[in-house]
Structure 1
Amino acid sequence: MDFEYSDKVKDLVLRVRAFMDEHVYPNEGTFHEQVNADRWKTPPIMEELKAKAKAEGLWNFFLPLAYGEYSGGLTNLEYAPLAEEMGRVAWAPEVFNCAAPDTGNMEVLAKYGNAEQKKQWLEPLLEGKIRSAFAMTEPEVASSDATNIETSIVRDGDEYVINGRKFYISGACRESCEIMIVMGKTDPENPNRHMQQSQVLVPVKTPGVNIVRPMHVFGYDDAPEGHAEVIFDNVRVPVSNIVLGEGRGFEIAQGRLGPGRIHHCMRSIGAAQRALEMMCKRANERVAFGQPLAKNQSVREDIAMSACQIEQARLMTLKAAYKMDTAGNKDAKDLIAMIKIVAPNVALDVIDRAIQMHGAAGVSQDFFLAHMWAGQRTLRLADGPDQVHMMQLGRNLAKAHA
């Protein structure tokens, strides 16, 4: 395995980094001010930065070469350092049209959508004109087991009728969110539990789609994205809105979540790296008991351990990306599970140390640390909780040596 970046990727990393330095970091305060002025509307600064990034060709990096005409032209391995740079600011991936849940939804449409669905929804998403959401998680069942999903999708002539309740549907609160991919059951009596589910495209403004409230994450509403509770009350959509076909929902979900999981991990490395850099800066500048914090052995140990953990997680992420590129997502599933377990926990460790070194300021709104910690803690649940990944990974490893 050769993890040396090509000249093309090195150039892209430098360009993304320069864009972040010039346009993103200086506007972190502006972004939050504008969000506070209008919670669920995309802030003007975001649209301004998206236009700049698109004009510079820093756009849609995430779709790998396997997606043909829709590809961003990069492999998963090549995308990793770019996602790391974007992950240093929670909202930065959207600037480059590389933000979840749109990335996963675009992957679904590119891989499984028909020509009409691609024209109507994939193309405007790729252009950054609209946003989207993926509606799977439900409050009444353990959604870490996707076969538990209870939302009903019943065919009635040329339409499907959808009824159910979802929550933590990221992106659905935003005014620019126009389409949701909804997972539910079209065949609840099928003896094969993995063939009961389907996924269907539901425009947000369809009658019966009720955005009830934004769910909070450790007290944050994460505006303008938000994590909505959504009730589907006799929602009717054309049969043509089914993705791939009835009974294929679980298959689509598995195909969607592999790349999505590793993208999250790539961004986690960036968040941890930024926290480490802040830790080092603070240790050099802050004086306690007559000397800089960096003179204390425990502080040096925290910095050293953080650097070790980040590099370990980075290398594991690159190995998983390499395996996805060379052997396919299915063969890389164990490595994807490993990094999904490791990366958020590493980021949490590093960010927690950085918070401690910043004292009271570390938990305040003056630094990105507290909000980023909340996001990384949530990531231990998103796209499958740690326990599910460990259960399946342990099963696979044990079986291999049976």
Structure 2
Amino acid sequence: MTRYDMVVIGAGAAGMMCAVEAGRRGRRVLVIEHGAKPGEKIRISGGGRCNFTNLHANEGITQGAGGYLSQNPRFCVSALKRYRPEDFIARIEAHGIAWHEKTLGQLFCDGPASQIVDMFLGEMREAGVDLRLSTTARDIERDADGFRLVAGHAGSGDTAISCAALVVATGGKSIPKMGASAFAYEVARKFGVPVTETRPALVPLTFEPHLLEETKALSGVSVAARVSCGKRHFDEAVLFTHRGLSGPAILQISSYWREGEAITLDMAPGVDVFERLRAARSQSGKQAAQTALGEILPKRLAQAIVTRLGADVPLGSLPDKRLRDIAAAVNAWTVKPVGTEGFRTAEVTLGGVDTTALDGKTMEVKSVPGLHFIGEAVDVTGWLGGYNFQWAWASGVACGAGDATN
């Protein structure tokens, strides 16, 4: 039986970060990854450029972890305060990785996302970390010295392994075609660790057939909008799809939306559409309503709205009440999605290993010494735009550099 100080299951963002930090502190570390390549979510993120963090990821955490959802919103504060966006920026700059900022503090690599993966692979080699790809972990049990498990590889057979610390960094259930599974939750339940309800997050919303019929001609149309659900709102782009709605604002609000609830879209935020249309009517009553509205919205969207309201006529024939109806359809379009596209397209999983069971400084299970959960497996879910990677880095450092490896 091969003995390690720490075994990390999952070579994703959190797992590789944890392994490097532990290895640098003299621990003998093994990383087990069931996929053929490490860091696959890193490779595909940000359109292949890796949105590796967000400059605003740590803003507001002292007021309740702004930018992060959890049943215990204060849990992530400790790790995020100890490892900040500027810490990761310094890390990649030390490796010569160029980056740039897009909107809303989102940071991307100038080159391919594989640079981030290669950085971690190099750091793991330097730290003496063992990496086994295409290897599964099973038969995990506790023993007097920590844990034992079997690492199975199709080509080389099974290996019995023991370790003092076991770290589960296998993520959630989002994007199963990349190998995502409920493995972390199964391990948690095996050792009596509670798991909160899990749901798709940062995911497109879908419409019922009647509403789809009304909007099918809009598939591919994008518009800057304010999307609201309850007290939460996001100001970003909305994309009409053949299933419903997507785009950054919709993905953001999906983490807060629940079945049976409605969302409201202001598709011309900051514009009083009624006043604009009334002014256009006074200037040229012969102008078609869709033409006037097309100066505010994408033309296909403007056409669809006036057609749906039976207002595809000259402005001069529309009284104020009809103009207000058009304005309401733009500034306060309220719809009730029927569901989401599910884990198939969800960027992350909402919910996970209950944070009340974990030590926020080391990510160790309080009732099971030596067992840790990090990254997406935990009930901490960030906003779109680099927040989830920042949580992966921070929770990985908390675990790898924490008391558990001493």
TM-score w.r.t. the length of structure 1 is 0.26
- The structure with more strand, counted as a fraction of residues: 2
Higher RCO, Cα 8 Å, sep 6+: 2
Which is higher, the Rg of structure 1 or of structure 2?
Answer: 2
TM-score w.r.t. the length of structure 2 is 0.25
